[in-house]
A and B are shown apart, each in its own frame.
Chain A
Amino acid sequence: AQTVTQSQPEMSVQEAETVTLSCTYDTSESDYYLFWYKQPPSRQMILVIRQEAYKQQNATENRFSVNFQKAAKSFSLKISDSQLGDAAMYFCAYRSGAAGNKLTFGGGTRVLVKP
């Protein structure tokens, strides 16, 4: 079974600065997808960014970008120019490309943004 690990329970960042969240996963598959979801205090689950494993180019969405290292099974999220609204729990998630498409989530990282 695939597992997703987020080793940082909490990260703090100054407004306008950059923070990087770590995520590692364990899989024997070659076809899969990776996602980052944001959960603000409202508890909604909001998709931030996604990456296909077959793509070497790292995904970017505005101020959010990933560093995907397939060999190392690492998928970190970088938030640039942090804003107060970025304060939330961030979850890394894995989806198999072959065995159904449920998401397997990591334990989450809480991001605090200091004004």
Chain B
Amino acid sequence: DSGVTQTPKHLITATGQRVTLRCSPRSGDLSVYWYQQSLDQGLQFLIQYYNGEERAKGNILERFSAQQFPDLHSELNLSSLELGDSALYFCASSVARQGANSPLHFGNGTRLTVT
């Protein structure tokens, strides 16, 4: 158990809809990262938050947004969903802001299926 909790585990929704994925980081971790993994692909970095502030942005679509709350949990909002958004979405957390080899600890992911 990595200590990172993601909910829900599975989500099935229709095109055009909006969903929210939730992540609770490991106790003491200040950084939260979101990744997208499409079928049999590598993980694509979406966005990073550190202690409530956005720190890095990757290939995140404008239809997607995220935030980190004062209690350090994070939410990833996906709107105007398309079939191509179907993927496994991972949240990861780590202690450090930058410049450290503290590893990322991953949650079990949320499997999103858009029909």
A interface, CB within 8 angstroms of B? 31, 33, 35, 37, 42-47, 50, 52, 91, 95, 97-108
Contacts of A99 in B (CB 8 A): 98
B5 sits at the interface (CB 8 A) = no
Do residues A43 and B109 form an inter-chain contact, with CB atoms below 8 A? yes
Do residues A100 and B106 form an inter-chain contact, with CB atoms below 8 A? no
Q: Which of B48, B88, B104 has the most CB of A within 10 A?
A: B104
Do residues B48 and A102 form an inter-chain contact, with CB atoms below 8 A? yes
Contacts of B55 in A (CB 8 A): 100
Do residues B42 and A107 form an inter-chain contact, with CB atoms below 8 A? yes
Do residues A45 and B92 form an inter-chain contact, with CB atoms below 8 A? yes
Do residues B42 and A103 form an inter-chain contact, with CB atoms below 8 A? no
Q: Which 10 A-B pairs have the closest CB atoms?
A: A45-B106, A105-B42, A107-B42, A100-B56, A33-B101, A105-B43, A101-B98, A47-B103, A100-B98, A102-B45
Do residues B88 and A43 form an inter-chain contact, with CB atoms below 8 A? yes
B interface, CB within 8 angstroms of A? 2, 31, 33, 41-45, 48, 55-56, 58, 88, 90, 92, 94, 96-106, 108-109, 111
CA distance A104 to B45 in the complex (A): 7
CA distance A114 to B104 in the complex (A): 31
Contacts of B97 in A (CB 8 A): 100-101
CA distance A97 to B43 in the complex (A): 20
For this complex, 12 residue pairs linking A to B, each with C-beta atoms less than 8 Å apart, are: A50-B103, A100-B48, A100-B56, A101-B104, A102-B33, A102-B48, A103-B45, A105-B45, A106-B42, A107-B42, A108-B41, A108-B42
For B58, the closest partner residue in chain A by CB is A102
Contacts of B45 in A (CB 8 A): 102-105
User: Are A45 and B48 also in contact (CB < 8 A) when A99-B98, A101-B96, A105-B42 are?
Assistant: no
